[in-house]
Structure 1
């Protein structure tokens, strides 16, 4: 591009005032020159010399979004990066981890082909499939199915809408699709989940993705607008429990249970499933013995995360011979446990809530206290002591403040604001 236009070349080596036309011409040329300079700098930018493997690592960081209890891939960002240029698309396709995590907000008729095509680019990278359903099931919300999952007919002339989980594409994904490492499902209708697990069990064979699943995340929510459908519908008969349909290959289980359930309601996860777990996370605000009953069978667990979800006080643990009253051993031995996370520990039962755990190999512990507690039923003297130093009492109840346990502890994290407690200075 010529920059020495006869119309203003005399101005470049003088101090003359440019005319309006000359000024406009110079400003136009400046814009063109700046654009050309920008493109020339881009042409020699160091990013162009990055190896595809390095670009892929940058892409991984760019598409990762924070997601409790872990992180997940934002597939929309993967698409955006792939559309920048051919080199970026090639780098993205070489980075198999970008294609190994898929979220389905609602299963549709073409979901099988889309997911298989997407995950097909992930190579041998462990694959994660996530499903998040709308807050309520249309079949229940419209009155086609009652709270006990019995068919009703609000309008005999119209067919009942299908359950979002009761579809051939989703069932095909879990029984005929690509090999999955992890599966997550979030749903508010327990009966819908039970029906899905039963159908998968009936259709699955030993070589299907479901039967080799390593990690399962079950999130059971409450529906604010349809609370009557958010109730726990698990059978009181262990042999009829939906958890009997879980794959035997599981080594990691995360389960979030709906709130405000009776403290006497059991959770019938089979002992054979719990004995195989190396990682177990449970979110439960039921004020009963459910967590202790489950831990009794977790002999191989290495990572344990218990979230009491603000609700319970777990007063039963303060009773004399608390565990023996519920046919449990006085101490629950977890010989392989290395990491323990406990959230929302109530002040009033801090030194009792998990005092029955025996974890001789524990290396890392993270604790979080419940910020407010309604402890009207607790003796005033005991309440005063526990509020002064609840974390100290909790950790001491696990035997971690004295040798030999204290000597092997490597990490302690306290995540509430008021962690400088009286009595914890030693």
Structure 2
């Protein structure tokens, strides 16, 4: 054992006296007291120094241990890059906030910087606008940003925020020129969006794009790399009403396969829109949002859409039109048809469409939910399906924002035995909706009656009244009845096709007709739900409806 040593200053000049003091209960004299105080101060200082050294050693030990065992340090670069993807707002299109956060992630450490740089998708989508003024766009920073995206597909979203290009003509032309240079710079964008008040700004850009062809042999090739495009014209439709060979739609990229078009809600005096057949024949997906009359939409869809597979129409406040004067529309390859924000009185619109290969039908009446649909609503849909001869191909039906009689809904679904996916969102009735599920349950018990939706695999009910869940529960159980024996279910029928149930039940927060906490909060862990999961073999996803819920 080593003997503790003390600094010279601590050596006792009169050890006998100090030993007597430590051993005996005597009062130290003045000299002894001063000596003891000096030794106490010296010892305290040494303890403080040793404590600081100990803290430094413990901190060093902790850093070394973390370096060896930290789970964050052990995350592979590729996974860390994927984590960054999910932390960035507005991804995959990064606006100013998203870019700022990505740069901040790079600055944390070299490993994080390497992870961000190695994930090319982080750098592949960008939102830019013309807020810099008449000087055009900052091309070099934009090009430098995209240079980090490697060979992955790139997306560019541009917004002309200067307003009316008629009052900001110089800025509009400068921006259009720089935007054309950006697209001709060899980056080969596959997705491009253009947002402006009207189509004049976009026409200026297209003019600039084609003016580059003599200067840059690659400009047209770069333009033709765009596969999906979104054009959003918010306020005005200031184009002529005559056929224009060089119109902006005639000069869209030859590679385009998907087009989303948002037209101004203000219905112009002339609803002329020229999408040439050479463009429409290449499209496999077309999305149109407007509030123009039905005749315009039908005229637009007549002929030239031979390869279209997905058609989406958001026709807000679209006014009914005398459809007898319109030509029927045949869409031979359409597999998905979505009609949203539809006017209930315009359900005859379906009678002008023929879709022989339809697989998915999605029809919604957003904004008209309080109106009763016509008595012939179900018959119109069935007539459309019969005329298109697609009952045997239809697998998915989604109905939204409909107030419909129970017998109509039953009549509709009874005639669609091959459905595998059914969604009823905000579907109400002047009658008790529970009667609907009771009728379905009874129909399965009747001999000689064909089973209702025998191939149904997924049932989705959005904004579902919580007090009607028992009726839903009884119907699902009736699809495969069972008895309990010795704690086990004994089934009388083979495995049912229904595998997934998704319910978003209404709450008092978004439905004034419901009392607070009415039935809903107890549903998630209820006996009924557990029974469906355990004995019926169904994946049950049940939660309260949220207004932010994406349908």
> When the two structures are superposed, what TM-score results if normalisation uses the length of structure 1?
0.71
Deviation at 1:281, TM superposition (A): 0.9
Q: Residues 167, 247 of structure 1: CA spacing in aligned structure 2 closer, same or farther, 3 A cutoff? A: closer
What residue in structure 2 maps to residue 140 of structure 1? 166
1:346-361 to 2 correspondences below 5 Å: 346-350=343-347, 352-361=348-357
Instruction: Determine which of 232, 235, 238 is the counterpart of 2:240.
Output: 235
Deviation at 1:289, TM superposition (A): 2.1
Any conservation in 2 of the 1:256–1:284 contact (CA below 8 Å)?
yes
Any conservation in 1 of the 2:233–2:263 contact (CA below 8 Å)?
yes
User: Which stretch has the larger CA shift, 205-214 or 110-119?
Assistant: 205-214
Matched, 1:338 2:331: no
**CA–CA distance in 2 between the matches of 1:344 and 1:404?**
26
Alignment partner of 2:192: what SS? strand
Deviation at 1:46, TM superposition (A): 2.0
**CA–CA distance in 1 between the matches of 2:268 and 2:209?**
29
Instruction: Determine which of 261, 268, 274 is the counterpart of 2:274.
Output: 268
1:107-118 to 2 correspondences below 5 Å: 108=132, 109=136, 111-118=138-145
Deviation at 1:209, TM superposition (A): 1.3
Matched, 1:184 2:193: yes
Alignment partner of 1:178: what SS? coil
What residue in structure 2 maps to residue 18 of structure 1? none
**CA–CA distance in 2 between the matches of 1:336 and 1:370?**
27
Deviation at 1:164, TM superposition (A): 6.1
Matched, 1:372 2:368: yes
Matched, 1:285 2:311: no
RMSD of equivalent CA atoms:
3.5
Instruction: Determine which of 200, 206, 222 is the counterpart of 1:209.
Output: 222
Instruction: Determine which of 118, 123, 138 is the counterpart of 1:99.
Output: 123
1:249-268 to 2 correspondences below 5 Å: 249-262=255-268, 264-268=270-274
Size of the alignment, in residue pairs? Answer: 349
1:153-232 to 2 correspondences below 5 Å: 161-163=170-172, 166-204=175-213, 205=217, 207-222=220-235, 231-232=236-237
Q: Residues 91, 420 of structure 1: CA spacing in aligned structure 2 closer, same or farther, 3 A cutoff? A: farther
Matched, 1:322 2:325: yes
Deviations 1:19-64 (A, max 9, x none): xxxxxx9xx99x9999989867864332321211212222222225
Q: Residues 110, 419 of structure 1: CA spacing in aligned structure 2 closer, same or farther, 3 A cutoff? A: same
Extract unaligned runs of 5+ from structure 1: 1-24, 146-160, 223-230, 375-382
Any conservation in 2 of the 1:105–1:132 contact (CA below 8 Å)?
yes
Deviation at 1:77, TM superposition (A): 3.0
Alignment partner of 2:172: what SS? coil
**CA–CA distance in 1 between the matches of 2:62 and 2:395?**
52
What residue in structure 2 maps to residue 409 of structure 1? 394
**CA–CA distance in 2 between the matches of 1:119 and 1:189?**
28
**CA–CA distance in 2 between the matches of 1:356 and 1:306?**
14
**CA–CA distance in 2 between the matches of 1:35 and 1:170?**
54
Extract unaligned runs of 5+ from structure 2: 1-47, 414-551
Alignment partner of 1:46: what SS? coil
Instruction: Determine which of 93, 97, 116 is the counterpart of 1:72.
Output: 93
Relative CO higher for 1 or 2, CA cutoff 8 Å, sep ≥ 6? 1
1:383-394 to 2 correspondences below 5 Å: 386=374, 390=377, 392-393=378-379
Any conservation in 2 of the 1:234–1:242 contact (CA below 8 Å)?
no
1:54-69 to 2 correspondences below 5 Å: 54-63=79-88, 65=90
Matched, 1:52 2:77: yes
Deviation at 1:216, TM superposition (A): 1.5
**CA–CA distance in 2 between the matches of 1:389 and 1:36?**
79
What residue in structure 1 maps to residue 382 of structure 2? 396
What residue in structure 1 maps to residue 417 of structure 2? none
**CA–CA distance in 2 between the matches of 1:417 and 1:83?**
52
Matched, 1:121 2:142: no
Q: Residues 91, 356 of structure 1: CA spacing in aligned structure 2 closer, same or farther, 3 A cutoff? A: same
Alignment partner of 1:236: what SS? coil
Alignment partner of 2:72: what SS? helix
Any conservation in 2 of the 1:176–1:208 contact (CA below 8 Å)?
no
Deviation at 1:393, TM superposition (A): 4.9
Q: Residues 114, 395 of structure 1: CA spacing in aligned structure 2 closer, same or farther, 3 A cutoff? A: farther
- Asked which structure has the greater CA Rg, the reply is 2
**CA–CA distance in 2 between the matches of 1:101 and 1:140?**
30
Deviation at 1:199, TM superposition (A): 2.0
Deviations 1:217-263 (A, max 9, x none): 111012xxxxxxxx322122222533222122211111111112247
